[in-house]
Structure 1
Amino acid sequence: MSDMAVSKATGGAVSGRHDLRDALDPLSEQIADEILHAEPVHPDTRLPAAVVQPLVRANLAEILAALAGEPSSLEPARKTGRVTAAEGVPLDLLQHAYRLAGLRVWEELARRLRSRTDTSALLRASSRVWFAIDRSSNVAVRTHLEASAGLSENMARTELLRGVLTGAVHDLETARRALGLPADVMLVVAVTAPGVPVVPAAAVVPPAPDGAADAARPTVRWLTHEGARLTLVAAPTSEDTYGALASLAARTRTGASRPFTRLADAPAALVEARTAVRSLPLGRVGLARYGDRPLDALLVADGERAAELATAVLRGLRDRDPRDEELLLATVEAWFEHGGSGTRAAAALHCHRNTVLNRLARVADLTGRDVNDPRAAAELYAAVRALRLQGEPL
């Protein structure tokens, strides 16, 4: 039955002064409050007010528009179904919320119509209210079921990918097909540090039908674990696998394993990727490939020994004012970065060459290590790198 047909069937009882849209705000506030403070069947699935209130208002606006004989898209009901499915809200609570809304809308309409003596008009108005409520409720329930099914499938694929990366899955050929990974390609595992901006809602996209995966372009599957993003990339060449990570690495600290071909090597590759991402100093974004920074990889692989090295070598600097310490550390880094050239280090630091040499002399006095002594310089460089790379393990 269309909105206009229902409006005619009620004899106009919901039009004119009986249009309830002027009560949208107080009604939506009342309904949201009742939903939020009702005794929940499952307390852990209660949604916060910041989520419930706008959903209630949007749904009620659509319902009241339908009562007034205007068309409605039912998009608020669909959104409600998606949100409640994603948050694990049971269907009975979702349906109860719509019943609450129906009762409050009918009470308000009955209050406005109680001066009428035409009982049949009240019955027709009641029929229209519950028709509008049921229509929104049915759409929300159907969307909830569809979204829940999709989430369940996605969660299953996520756990399958987790099993591949951790070595818990042994039937790797079946796993490859289920994840939609092409055969006979190069693989790379990547770890992106916590704080990835704007990621898709789904952790693992549904794979293409078996045999339909396009081996000519990268296939990316990922999940999140303790805030970090774990990614498995399949592509025709090693460079293609790294290229698929370029946009991600442009915004975040990302570490990638060496390329491999057997899915059985994924757990070892995950270890490499974790080491690689930790070889990027905190605050610096980019892609670190395992093997590109062998000294840094060694330092982060044994964080306890690296911390001891930094403390032992740099103790004299660490006892100074933090600003002075940072100035001397930055000078040491610039000197090493520019191949031991005082002139180029000075240009990078925007100071005179003699200033750089004087600072390095102070470092030698404070640490007992002169940058002109190869063995002392090696210890100094390793200690500074160890200090810069200290951070939480991923």
Structure 2
Amino acid sequence: MSDIAVSGRHDLRDALDLLSDQVADGILHAEPVYRDTRLPAAAVQPLVRANLAEILAALAGETSSLDPARETGRVTAAEGMPLDLLQHAYRLAGLRIWEELARRLRARTDTGALLRASSRAWSAIDRSSNAAVQAHLEASAGLGEDMARTELLRGVLTGAVQDLETARRALGLPADVMLVVAVTAPGLPAVPTPDGAPAVPTPDGAPGRQDVGVGVVGVGVGPPRVSVRWLTHEGDRLTLVAAPTSDDAHGVLTHLAAHARTGASRPFASLGDAPAALAQARTAVRSLPPGQVGLSRYGDSPLDALLVADGERAAELAAAVLGGLRDRAARDEELLLGTLEAWFEHGGSGTRAAAALHCHRNTVLNRLARVAELTGRDINDPRAAAELYAAVRARRLHRPTRRPAAPRPGS
């Protein structure tokens, strides 16, 4: 018996690539039962190959770690693959192994030996399948807990949860800490962890991939009493940070803001204030001009927050105050707006604005005079200057589409 098993195993090792392709193709394409699972090929193919190698080793009587089977159980649980499909995949692998083994041993006249080889092959399949099923069940239980915590956090942030003390304990949040809610727009870096600790896996395909659809809660590790919880909601990442001080909480969020648009709420102490904090964070992230990354904290730019809170009125303000500039060529309009912004940014100093713009002070003054001519507002009048500043900020935050240039005569 061992001669047939070993001989068959060595023969089948030569066919490992073929068998792997056949089984992976069955899982990904050929078998109708798998068509709605949307398993990624990048995950299926290496798992199939590793499992087949282990099964062939067991068929030859060698020690098998069953690690590939356990990993398969964990991955398929994370991907939401039902247990019956997981078991079917192992039966499919067993069938391909047996067909190839039988083909190579067909010339033998010892039917009993062939039957014993068949028994050994299916025994190896069952052993791997059982290990995968057990790992799948264990991983599914853990994912179920994470999903429950995710929905609990979602309920806290949206105001749907009333028993906030129970929610705090279930989420593992320390008592007597400052809380901050942050909203990070799509295009996300790794979830931050304090003091350079390893990043919590993100739902964006990073190692340890977690399903965006279930929005698994991430737990930050770092200094004592600093906790990070996050989920994906309506395309944005919502992050809840609990820390001893508001500075500690905002320090954690700077990791998010390094490569993504992030808005943070004012610090608060009670989970009951979380829904209001979420609204603040959404306003804060919208206060960042389009295309700009960084951390925008609610309250740091109250005028910008007011402008994004009512986009329609803000657009009307920009059109009413700056309408004359829109009749200029795009390059001229941008030059005048940039000069106006530099003048405001440098406290109304033409000299400092000129240095920032790399031009002469008189050039700045001439441009500002042109702005006054086109808008009817002189920056030396405080009320007119206030309207100009608010209009420029509204224009930057909303970036209206320019009207097409009027056709030239005869064109």
Question: Is 1:251 matched up with 2:259?
Answer: yes
Q: What CA deviation, in whole Å up to 9, does each residue of 1:202-238 have, x standing for no partner?
A: 7324799xxxxx9953122111112211112222222
Q: Pick one of 112, 117, 121 that aligns with 1:125.
A: 117
Q: Pick one of 283, 295, 309 that aligns with 1:287.
A: 295
Q: TM-score, normalised by structure 2?
A: 0.84
Q: Pick one of 145, 155, 160 that aligns with 2:152.
A: 160
Instruction: Decide whether aligned partners of structure 1 residues 332 and 100 sit closer, same or farther in structure 2, where only a CA change above 3 A counts.
Output: same
The corresponding residue for 1:136 is 128
The aligned amino acid for 2:378 is D
Query: In the aligned structure 2, how far is the partner of 1:136 from the partner of 1:206?
Result: 32
Give the conservation status (yes or no) of the 8 Å contact 1:258–1:289. Answer: yes
The aligned runs of 1:1-394 (5 Å cut-off) are: 10-15=2-7, 18-38=10-30, 40-41=32-33, 43-68=35-60, 71-199=63-191, 200=201, 201=210, 203-205=216-218, 216-390=224-398
Per-residue deviation, 1:158: 0.6
Per-residue deviation, 1:190: 1.4
Per-residue deviation, 1:364: 2.2
Per-residue deviation, 1:194: 1.7
Query: In the aligned structure 2, how far is the partner of 1:275 from the partner of 1:78?
Result: 45
The corresponding residue for 2:205 is none
Query: In the aligned structure 2, how far is the partner of 1:87 from the partner of 1:267?
Result: 31
Instruction: Decide whether aligned partners of structure 1 residues 120 and 16 sit closer, same or farther in structure 2, where only a CA change above 3 A counts.
Output: closer
The corresponding residue for 1:3 is none
Structure 2: any 5+ residue segments left out of the alignment?
Answer: 192-200, 202-209, 400-411
Structure 1: any 5+ residue segments left out of the alignment?
Answer: 1-8, 209-213
| Farther-moved stretch of structure 1 (138-147 vs 317-326) | 317-326
Query: In the aligned structure 2, how far is the partner of 1:198 from the partner of 1:187?
Result: 20
The corresponding residue for 1:211 is none
Partner-residue secondary structure (3-state), 1:13: helix
Instruction: Decide whether aligned partners of structure 1 residues 146 and 333 sit closer, same or farther in structure 2, where only a CA change above 3 A counts.
Output: same
Partner-residue secondary structure (3-state), 2:183: strand
Identity of aligned residues (%): 82
Q: What CA deviation, in whole Å up to 9, does each residue of 1:245-283 have, x standing for no partner?
A: 222222222211111112111111111111111112222
The aligned amino acid for 2:162 is H
Give the conservation status (yes or no) of the 8 Å contact 2:190–2:256. Answer: no
Query: In the aligned structure 2, how far is the partner of 1:354 from the partner of 1:206?
Result: 56
Per-residue deviation, 1:292: 0.9
Instruction: Decide whether aligned partners of structure 1 residues 16 and 132 sit closer, same or farther in structure 2, where only a CA change above 3 A counts.
Output: closer
Partner-residue secondary structure (3-state), 1:384: helix
| Farther-moved stretch of structure 1 (169-178 vs 274-283) | 274-283
Instruction: Decide whether aligned partners of structure 1 residues 351 and 59 sit closer, same or farther in structure 2, where only a CA change above 3 A counts.
Output: farther
> Size of the alignment, in residue pairs?
379
Partner-residue secondary structure (3-state), 1:45: coil
Per-residue deviation, 1:56: 2.3
